[in-house]
Amino acid sequence: EVQVVESGGSLVQPGGSLRLSCAASGFTFSSYAMSWVRPAPGKGLEWVSAISGSGGSTYYADSVKGRFTISRDNSKNTLYLQMNSLRAEDTAVYYCAKMGGYRGPDYFDYWGQGTLVTVSS
């Protein structure tokens, strides 16, 4: 059974940093691209970042480029999102999602339950 489980969300001050993790199981982790997605108030869902199966290619939404860094450790079946210079508008539930292929863009076939990031003083 495919599972992805996020962790690391918490309350952080504006300008602060946070690292999210996503532990994956039930599939060959290195064979699939992975992504982070968050809700966007009034706009549905917002894709945040993606990484290819090998980790050699990374992709970012303009809203987080230069502030967030996606990475993966295929030996640990774990995806990460390093979030720096956090802003109030980054407050959201962050979903980890498995993508349908080796590299993006692609659809998301399995999602975690999400981890809540709150940016507030």
Q: Which residues bind another protein (CB under 8 A)?
A: 35, 42-47, 50, 59, 61-62, 95, 100, 104-114
Closer residue to another protein in complex, CB, 53/104:
104
Q: How far apart are CA 9 and CA 101, in angstroms?
A: 27
Q: What CA–CA distances, in Å, run from 99 to 16, 85, 90, 103?
A: 29, 27, 22, 8
Q: How far is the CB of 112 from another protein (least distance, A)?
A: 6
Q: Name residue 118's amino acid.
A: T
Nearer of residues 12 and 48 to another protein, judged by Cβ: 48
Q: Shortest approach of another protein to residue 98 CB, angstroms?
A: 10
Q: What minimum distance in Å lies between the beta carbon of 105 and another protein?
A: 4
Cβ 119 to another protein, closest distance in Å?
21
Closest CB to another protein among residues 4, 18? 4
| Cα–Cα distance measured from residue 56 to residue 21, given in angstroms and rounded to the nearest whole number | 18
In DSSP terms, 110 is beta-bridged to 98
What's the CA gap between 97 and 89, in Å, rounded?
21
